Amino acid sequence: DQTEVALKRAVQTKEFILHYQPRLDIRSGKIVGAEGLVRWNRPEHGLVMPDAFISICEETGLIDELGKMVLEIGCAQAIAWRHAGLDLDLSLNVSPRQFSDSGFLPLLKKLASQTDFPHGHIELEITETVLIGDHVSIAEKLKAITAMGYRIAIDDFGTGYSNLSYISRFPLTCLKIDRSFVDQLPTSGPIVQLILTLGQQIGARVVSEGVETQEQLDWLIEHNCEEAQGYLITRPLDVDGFEAFLQGNA
């Protein structure tokens, strides 16, 4: 199919870039990090959003190469920000297939061995799907990844089917509340509160995603959620836009 052929070429010629959506530390009001979100800069089409190509990449196996590119771009950017004196944590999305690929740990190891790799400042976002299966081997894999200096976040938390009894055995530093819950505040308050309590219990920060209104942010402030991300703060921005946004918020 046409898109698939174009994607294959795009992976080879590296037509992908990252946009960055800031993460707000609710208590201090400071931007403490960003999530990198991939876009395909497709010739003659313009910017293509991930929903139009991530699943094709998963199905065709192109995700390993694309995922590698995302990690390389993200790590290089995180290093550049540190050199510029910016103290930012960067979250990068990892797809389930990429996580289970045998080349994934060696790639992480190679990236972490780079000069100036920002140990403790790169967070990998995995979904609950990744946590299904043999919990002992998953825990070992996650421990190996954290030992290299990465942190682990669970993305879209609350929408999957991860076994809650194992959550505390995994070395998780962050739970990202899916925006479908944030969108339904205050009706969804009991669920959000449950996740906030769980985060506290296991020592993971909780980030609320998809925060669009001041009312939602006020609810999160009142309930001691650590971080917020969403259109209320800003949409994902290209790197120049993101850096300009940081200046405006300094």
Contact residues for Mn ion, defined by CB under 5 A: 93, 125, 155
- For residue 180, give Cα distances in angstroms to 37, 98, 185, 229: 19, 25, 9, 13
Burial of 182 (0-12, 13-18, 19+ CB in 10 A): buried
Select from ligand G, Mn ion, Na ion, none the partner in contact with residue 230, using the beta carbon and a kind-dependent cut-off of 5 to 8 Å: ligand G
- Shortest Cβ 176–ligand G spacing (Å): 6
21 part of the interface to ligand G, by CB under 6 A = yes
- Shortest Cβ 63–ligand G spacing (Å): 7
155 part of the interface to Na ion, by CB under 5 A = yes
Among 33, 118, 199, 210, binds ligand G (CB under 6 A): 210
78 part of the interface to ligand G, by CB under 6 A = no
Burial of 101 (0-12, 13-18, 19+ CB in 10 A): middle
Select from Na ion, Mn ion, ligand G, none the partner in contact with residue 212, using the beta carbon and a kind-dependent cut-off of 5 to 8 Å: ligand G
123 part of the interface to Na ion, by CB under 5 A = no
Which residues in 144-163 contact ligand G (CB under 6 A)? 155-156
Structural contact between residues 89 and 129, judged by C-beta atoms closer than 8 angstroms: no
Q: Which is nearer to Mn ion, 6 or 32 (CB)?
A: 32
Kind of pairing between the strands at 16-25 and 227-228: antiparallel
Q: At what angle do helices 214-222 and 189-202 cross, to 10 degrees?
A: 50
Taking the mean position of all CA atoms in its chain, how far away is CA 70?
Answer: 11
Among 230, 237, 245, 246, binds ligand G (CB under 6 A): 230
- Shortest Cβ 47–ligand G spacing (Å): 10
Q: Rounded to the nearest 5°, which phi and psi values hold at 65?
A: -70, -45
65 part of the interface to ligand G, by CB under 6 A = no
95 part of the interface to ligand G, by CB under 6 A = yes
93 part of the interface to ligand G, by CB under 6 A = yes
Structural contact between residues 23 and 89, judged by C-beta atoms closer than 8 angstroms: yes
Query: Among 194, 168, 229, which Cα is nearest to 20's?
Result: 229
Binding site for Na ion (CB under 5 A): 155-156, 209
Binding site for ligand G (CB under 6 A): 21, 37-38, 49-51, 54, 70, 93, 95, 155-156, 179, 209-212, 230-231, 236
